[in-house]
């Protein structure tokens, strides 16, 4: 008998979810994590009086208590829903484009300043009030987003499963027409006002590619799902989810090793045999679920050369973005710096491709995102104070190219620019700082162990999607789960962890059944 039925490498969202589902499903599971806490991105850290949220901005897919959506079911199945205190957010986001003139004078009118409520009806109303000349298009666009979302959730998977052209034609008309078109094209088809386009497409940041490279279904589902099912937060931050998952895993009898990275995936005849840890211990198993990148899994951990299937898959992928983040604890209330929504996009240009260009190097930021965690959840910061994260997407290469001696200074120089950028919309951030921690793409790399410090995995352009991929099955018993093989972000990675575990449990069950049958045969 092997030491474990399954070994999960990495306690990120997908790894934790997979491990918990496996152990609760009866598989003897070992979870390996190279850091000292569970969660990967879904963690927090303490500085002074503040506990900072590392990565969760808006949790999607929860729904409300009255009309729950899929994530509540998944968390219930994993045994943690009753451990979580969910906070519903009131707004989707606020978009501010500060005035270029006299921007230092507070009170000067911004070029764009729109706050979108987290409610479909109110969302339509707000957009129509700001852009009355495009009311009809707004109405039609949001209706399309809704229909497209329903097709993506319900009808498309069914049509694909049945592989029936007629069903696809009759049930997914909007998907056929709009689903895979570049978002930019669809935005241009519906709207002429540039401000409106920038406002309605602001969630592109959560994918990390400009709208011209994002399939419309992704952008449409995001705005519809957030508005319909509410953006959420969890008290205690995403660490509360990770800690609850780990507890559920341990209660079910799972074994975990922290400060223990995987060093080698051991195979025999292209079949998984076990894992060697960084400390030299070897644990045998039937299945490995890798919650680390395919680059690390296939090119660095696997004890044989990269299988052709995996190599070909990686050739069609491009490394996704990382991020530069400031975690700010302020000695003032959110109100005092003008915060009126939890999520804020501060933009200098209506054109997202300008932002994408600045993301390539250490250049002056043009698009930043400011999240205030105690706007909707006052318990998230000490009384009278504020807990913020100020972020801009950025690729890691330029940081990797810096001499190590110049790293700290470069980090502070860029942080200053980020604060300057944000202060044009939210003045006086700097003078209220009580605690600050700076995370560069190399910080992401350190904690996530991803090439380039990637936070969403590969670039999520149209062809990157699961529907353009076959499952890599070159190594029997090796399964990938994480943002690298699907969408990035919290909901997608929880879901892929859960579905991977389900598939592995099925295989284990089958294996056991056939073993029993064989035993019966030999006994007969």
Partner 1 sequence: MPNTNTENNILHAVDGYNDALLHQNELTKSGTDFNEQNGRVANTIASLHPKRIQLVVSEVIVDTASTKTLRFKAEDNFLPPFQAGQYINLFVNIDGTETARPYAISSAPQERGFYDLTIKRVADGFVSHFLLDDVEVGDHFQSTGPMGTFYHNPLFHGDDLVFLAGGSGIAPARSMILNMIENTLLINKQTNKLGARKIHLVYASSYEADVIYEDELKNLEKEHEFLTVTWLISRPTKNYIGRTGHINAQLLTELLGDDLELFQSKMFYICGPTSFHDFCAEQLQQLKVKAKRVRIECNGPPKHPEELAGWPENLIASDKVTVTIHKADGSQGQFEARVDEPLLNSMERNGYSAENACRSGECSLCRVKVLKGSVFNPAEARLRSTDEAYGWCHSCVAFPTSDVELLV
**Which residues in 21-50 contact partner 1 (CB under 8 A)?**
30, 36-37, 44-49
For partner 1, the closer of residues 65 and 405 by Cβ is: 405
Give the H/E segment covering residue 436.
Answer: strand 433-439
Among 62, 114, 240, 346, binds partner 1 (CB under 8 A): 240
3-state secondary structure of 322: strand
CB atoms within 10 A of CB 267: 18
**What is the closest distance, in whole angstroms, from the C-beta atom of residue 394 to partner 1 in the complex?**
15
Q: Per-residue x/- marks for partner 1, 150-169, CB under 8 A?
A: ---------xx--xxx--xx
The residues in 328-357 that bind partner 1, with binding defined as CB under 8 A, are: 331
Q: Per-residue x/- marks for partner 1, 199-218, CB under 8 A?
A: ----------------x---
**What is the closest distance, in whole angstroms, from the C-beta atom of residue 171 to partner 1 in the complex?**
12
**DSSP state, 270?**
T
For partner 1, the closer of residues 141 and 484 by Cβ is: 484
100, 155, 218, 424 from 421: Cα distances, Å: 11, 44, 28, 6
Give the H/E segment covering residue 6.
Answer: strand 4-9
**What is the closest distance, in whole angstroms, from the C-beta atom of residue 217 to partner 1 in the complex?**
10
**What is the closest distance, in whole angstroms, from the C-beta atom of residue 474 to partner 1 in the complex?**
9
Largest CA distance in the chain: 90
For partner 1, the closer of residues 52 and 226 by Cβ is: 52
What are the strands, taking DSSP E only, across 50-102? 50-53, 86-88, 91-97
Nearest to 40 by CA among 251, 292, 288, 250: 292
The residues in 430-469 that bind partner 1, with binding defined as CB under 8 A, are: 430, 433-438, 442, 445-446, 449-451, 461-463, 467-469
Nearest to 331 by CA among 433, 245, 235: 433
For every residue of 471-494, DSSP letters joined together read ---SSBTEEE-SGGGS--SHHHHH
Stretches 65-73, 244-252, 267-275, 333-341: which one binds partner 1 (CB under 8 A)?
Answer: 244-252
The residues in 171-200 that bind partner 1, with binding defined as CB under 8 A, are: 175-182
Q: Per-residue x/- marks for partner 1, 287-326, CB under 8 A?
A: --------xx--xx-----x--xxxxxxxxxx--------
Q: Phi/psi at 262 (nearest 5 deg)?
A: -80, 140
Give the H/E segment covering residue 466.
Answer: none
Structure tokens given for 153: 């959730």
Is residue 419 within the footprint of partner 1 (CB under 8 A)? yes
Is residue 82 within the footprint of partner 1 (CB under 8 A)? no
Kindly state the number of chain residues that form the binding site for partner 1, as judged by CB under 8 A.
Answer: 87
Among 11, 127, 256, 392, binds partner 1 (CB under 8 A): 256
Is residue 19 within the footprint of partner 1 (CB under 8 A)? no
Is residue 244 within the footprint of partner 1 (CB under 8 A)? yes
Sequence-separated (6 or more) residues with CB below 8 Å from residue 212 = 182, 183, 184, 185, 352, 353
Is residue 246 within the footprint of partner 1 (CB under 8 A)? yes
Beta-bridge partners for 116: 93
């Amino acid at each position: 008998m092997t030491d474990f039925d399954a070994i999960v490498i990495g306690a990120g969202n997908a790894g934790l979810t997979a491990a918990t589902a496996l152990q609760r499903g009866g598989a003897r599971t070992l979870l390996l994590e190279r850091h000292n806490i569970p969660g990967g991105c879904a963690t927090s850290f303490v500085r002074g009086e503040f506990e900072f949220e590392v990565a969760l901005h808006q949790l999607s897919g929860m729904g409300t208590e009255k009309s729950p959506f899929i994530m509540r079911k998944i968390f219930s199945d994993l045994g943690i829903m009753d451990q979580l205190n969910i906070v519903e957010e009131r707004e989707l986001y606020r978009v501010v484009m500060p005035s270029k003139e006299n921007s230092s004078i507070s009170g000067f009118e911004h070029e764009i300043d729109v706050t979108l409520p987290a409610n479909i009806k109110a969302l339509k109303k707000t957009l129509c009030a700001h852009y009355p000349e495009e009311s009809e298009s707004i109405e039609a666009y949001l209706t399309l987003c809704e229909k497209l979302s329903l097709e993506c959730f319900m009808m498309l998977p069914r049509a694909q499963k049945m592989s029936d052209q007629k069903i696809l034609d009759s049930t997914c008309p909007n998907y056929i027409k709009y689903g895979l078109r570049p978002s930019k094209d669809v935005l241009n088809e519906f709207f002429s006002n540039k401000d409106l386009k920038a406002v309605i497409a602001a969630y592109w940041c959560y994918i990390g590619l400009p709208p011209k490279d994002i399939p419309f279904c992704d952008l449409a589902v995001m705005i519809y799902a957030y508005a319909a099912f509410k953006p959420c937060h969890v008290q205690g931050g995403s660490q509360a989810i990770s800690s609850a998952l780990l507890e559920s895993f341990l209660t079910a009898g799972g074994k975990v090793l922290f400060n223990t990275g995987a060093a080698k995936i051991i195979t025999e005849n292209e079949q998984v045999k076990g894992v060697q840890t960084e400390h030299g211990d070897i644990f045998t198993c039937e299945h490995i679920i890798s919650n680390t990148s395919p680059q690390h899994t296939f090119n660095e951990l696997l004890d044989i050369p990269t299988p052709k299937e995996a190599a070909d898959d990686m050739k069609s992928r491009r490394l996704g973005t990382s991020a530069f983040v400031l975690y700010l604890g302020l000695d003032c209330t959110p109100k005092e710096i003008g915060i009126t929504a939890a999520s804020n996009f501060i933009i200098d240009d209506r054109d997202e491709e300008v932002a994408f260009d600045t993301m390539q190097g250490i250049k002056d930021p043009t698009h930043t995102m400011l999240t205030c965690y105690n706007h909707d959840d006052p318990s998230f910061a000490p009384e009278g104070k504020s807990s913020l994260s100020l972020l801009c997407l950025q690729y890691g290469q330029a940081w990797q190219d810096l001499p190590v001696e110049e790293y700290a200074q470069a980090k502070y120089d860029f942080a200053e620019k980020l604060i300057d950028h944000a202060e044009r919309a939210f003045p006086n951030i700097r003078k209220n700082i009580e605690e600050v921690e700076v995370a560069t793409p190399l910080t992401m790399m350190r904690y996530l162990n991803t090439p380039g410090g990637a936070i969403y995995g590969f670039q999520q352009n149209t062809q990157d999607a699961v529907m353009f991929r076959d499952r890599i099955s070159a190594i029997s018993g090796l399964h990938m789960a994480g943002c690298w093989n699907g969408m990035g972000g919290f909901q997608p990675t929880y879901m892929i962890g859960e579905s991977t575990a389900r598939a592995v449990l099925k295989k284990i069950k089958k294996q056991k059944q056939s073993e029993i049958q064989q035993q019966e045969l030999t006994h007969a």
